[in-house]
Amino acid sequence: MGTHEVTNQVPQLDGYDALGSDPALAEGLDRWGDPQRRAETEDLGRLTGQWSSHLLAEQADTHTPRLRTHSRQGERIDEVEFHPAWHALMEIAVSHGLTAEAWTRPPGTGAHVQRAASFLLWSQVEQGHLCPVSMTYAAAPALRHSPDLAAEIVPGLASRSYDFGLWPRAEKSGLIAGMGMTEKQGGSDVRANSTRAVAAGEGPVPGTAYRLTGHKWFCSAPMSDVFLILGQTDSGVSCFLVPRILDDGRRNAFAIQRLKDKLGNRSNASSEIEMDGTWGSLVGEEGRGVRTIIDMVASTRLDCVLGSTSIMRQALVRAVHHARHRSAFGATLVDQPLMQNVLTDLALEVEAATTLSLRLAHAVDEADTAFSRLAVAVSKYWVCKRTPVMVAEALECLGGNGYVEENGLARLYREAPLNSIWEGSGNVNALDVLRAVTREPASVEAFRKQLALAAGANATLDTAIARVDELIAAAASPDSQLMARGIVEHLALTLQATLLAQHAPGEVADLFIASRLGGQRGSAFGTLDPAAARQHGRAIIDRALTAR
């Protein structure tokens, strides 16, 4: 016989529609997406809301990748083994077109917005497997620097078939891409790389063949079929496509030294590799590797924004769900004024990030590189920076229940810092913004044009927009590096505010502007103006996770 009856426990979060319950995402998809593919995204939204999907995530994170350097016969094989849950997650992501398919569809059709919305949904389940998915998406624009090579490789990257295993590319129904830029001595300073690349004439790789020798300190997803790798030639840093399996069926020289033991992203294999006469194909011009691979970096930075937004979204969903079903001091948590203030504040953060994410993807659809050049760097810095503190606050809404592993928020919290580090830490992105605003006037003008669309909507926002020109001018001052983070923060908040003023309900936009730009908020979440929180808080919370 039990000693007591268990009450006041929150039911399992299962069977909800992750797209239908997220008006900000659904409205953005209607605004900029491809209506012909809406049903497919809706299907993924329902799959995201199933507990069985999150169970796969738990299994993949618990049973982490295992490196096998040698076969039973003592041969060097350098293979990574994954739990079946990892492969199930990858199968769903690839079969829903989250890799490079969007690059094969006509510009202006909403393909990248559709893909971004799907990425935002499925990333809420598990982030680790989205790393190779993101790199596969991002490799396509870099390969366009060598059209003949792209014609051979991109169709495989765009395939909806997940075909795991090391065998010749010609026999595979789909390809996954990885990348290797950083080395021990350089880190983010990729021009300090010491990997050498020597032209080799004809070879068992397509295009212009080179042999690479060197060590990569971080090589993401080493089980992938192809990699974009940076190496030094006599002309300078160059970019190469390195296959795991050569066209003649032999294994390329690609020694995986170890897998990284990471804070989060544990389901994904990150590695150190050594190359010794490794075959690669030149991508773009020799000596212009950084410029070539920056197209990949721009796309993976966009996915950093999407991934961080999805982490915040899932943390918010769990916090609101808990607050609606847990009672304390005579009322459900969601009806407690202080909890309403916290949840409202978190909801504002997530809606701003969601709308911004889809606007960035829309710029890719429109081939608006002038806007995306600056806006992606600004957004990558800010949204990724906001994620750890936001997730920590959402976790606290659950109290001790949020701190235990079985809830899933602990995994989100471990995952939260990653995107702020990957593809350039906060300082790297802030300095990149300074370069853009001082050297690329077309990007500044495109950014100003976007802000001007909301001019006159709100006096506080107008003041913030006016200050942008002052900060852009300051970016050229001797103290610009000392000011860099402050400049980027203001640009990001002002951009988010203008998008909400255009597209969000009035109470969402006005409260975001007042709290983020008007000083009507403290330093922590849950310090919104009491009158505004009382008047609009419950409506904003209900919008954040609708009952549909």
Q: Quick one: pLDDT at residue 103?
A: 97
Coil, helix or strand at residue 192: helix
Q: Quick one: pLDDT at residue 186?
A: 65
Coil, helix or strand at residue 257: strand
**Closest residue by Cα to residue 11 from 395, 314, 318, 333:** 318
Helix (H) or strand (E) holding 242: strand 236-243
Q: Do 511 and 538 meet the contact criterion of CB atoms below 8 Å apart?
A: no
Token pair belonging to 16: 């909800």
| Blockwise average pLDDT, block size 10, the chain, 548 residues | 82 95 98 94 98 97 96 94 98 98 95 98 97 97 97 98 96 96 76 89 94 93 96 96 97 96 95 97 95 92 98 98 94 96 98 98 97 97 98 97 91 96 90 94 97 96 97 94 96 98 98 96 95 96 89
Burial grade of 82 (CB within 10 A; 0-12, 13-18, 19 or more) = buried
Q: Quick one: pLDDT at residue 185?
A: 76
- Concatenating the DSSP letter of every residue in 271-338 gives EEEEEEEEEEEEESSTT-HHHHHHHHHHHHHHHHHHHHHHHHHHHHHHHHHHHHH-EETTEEGGGSHH
Three-state SS for 367-409 is CCHHHHHHHHHHHHHHHHHHHHHHHHHHHHHCCHHHHCHHHCH
Other beta carbons within 10 angstroms of residue 363's beta carbon come to 23
Which DSSP letter does residue 501 get?
Answer: H
Please report, for the chain, the start and end positions of each structural domain, with discontinuous segments joined by +.
Answer: 23-157, 176-287, 292-544
Q: Is the dihedral of CA 117, 305, 128, 365 positive or negative?
A: positive
**Closest residue by Cα to residue 440 from 531, 342, 369:** 369
Select 176-287's CATH number: 3.40.50.300, 2.40.110.20, 3.40.462.40, 3.20.20.70: 2.40.110.20
Spell out the residues 6+ positions from residue 265 whose beta carbon is closer than 8 angstroms to its own.
127, 128, 131, 415, 418
Q: Do 311 and 416 meet the contact criterion of CB atoms below 8 Å apart?
A: yes
Q: How far is CA 40 from CA 11, 13, 295, 419, 464, in A?
A: 28, 22, 28, 27, 39
One-letter amino acid at 1 equals M
**Closest residue by Cα to residue 230 from 180, 298, 303:** 180
Coil, helix or strand at residue 81: strand
Spell out the residues 6+ positions from residue 495 whose beta carbon is closer than 8 angstroms to its own.
356, 375, 378, 379, 447, 450, 451
Coil, helix or strand at residue 71: coil
Q: Is the dihedral of CA 355, 53, 413, 270 positive or negative?
A: negative
Question: What are the φ/ψ torsions at residue 424 (nearest 5 degrees)?
Answer: 100, 115
Say which CATH superfamily domain 292-544 falls into: Butyryl-CoA Dehydrogenase, subunit A, domain 3 (1.20.140.10)
